[in-house]
Amino acid sequence: MKFSHVGKQNNQQGYWKKGLLYCFVLFVISMPGCGKKGLPLPPPEEIPPGVVDLSGELDGETLTFSWSIPEGKNADQLIGYKIYRSATPIQGTDCPECPVNFWLLGDMKISEFNTSDTDSRKLFFIHTLEPEDTDSVIAEDSGPVIQPEADQGKPLDTNVYQYKVVGYTEYNVKSPDSNVISIHHPAKSSSNTGEAQNKGSHGE
């Protein structure tokens, strides 16, 4: 009888374990969805610092960007920078709260810069404008376009061009966005020189 009693207890314990496992599975399955999940964020202590002094200058059809490698926690983990650009039609700039879509313009490893630049912690990126980067006419349905006083006399654009840089580590942990700058692109065949206007910090 003792063996029978022990066997019965073991069976009961087995049933309890199976029952708890079954309840747990049902609970997980029945949990309400919380929408599309993004990629897990890295711990804050792993995020490298972002650039705060991005500047740019246009000379003819050559764009030159410069910025300082930031100092601070995890700055030594940075191995490169990605340069992004957006082009927003002038007629769409009356919505300052609308999201701005950036696309990749260039990707440079810090090791690709010469020694004097990295020693001074100042980096430079040069880009030559392509034909599609310039505008020759204003869209017929764009309505009246008012240029800032500083840009009076310059050929009109159909787009507002903005730029930012984002640093990254060996494990592709990205820094916060840099400050965003806006640069006037010339009309085709124009050789005017333009300067970037700092627009302050911005996040995607």
Domain ranges of the chain: 1-31, 47-135+154-199
| Helix, coil or strand: residue 86 | strand
pLDDT tens for each residue of 34-55: 455 566 666 666 899 999 999 9
Instruction: Please compute the mean of the pLDDT values over residues 23-38 and round it to a whole number.
Output: 54
pLDDT band at 144 (very low <50, low <70, confident <90, very high): very low
100 pLDDT above the threshold of 60: yes
* pTM (global) more than 0.75: no
pLDDT tens for each residue of 192-203: 444 454 444 344
Into which CATH architecture does domain 47-135+154-199 fall?
Answer: Sandwich (2.60)
User: How is 127-186 classified by DSSP, letter by letter?
Assistant: EEPPGGG---S--TTS------GGGTTSPPPSEEEEEEEEEEETT-PBPPP-EEEEEPPP
pLDDT band at 146 (very low <50, low <70, confident <90, very high): very low
H or E stretch including 20?
helix 2-30
Spatial distance between the Cα atoms of 200 and 178, rounded to a whole number of angstroms: 9
The predicted pLDDT at position 138 comes to: 34
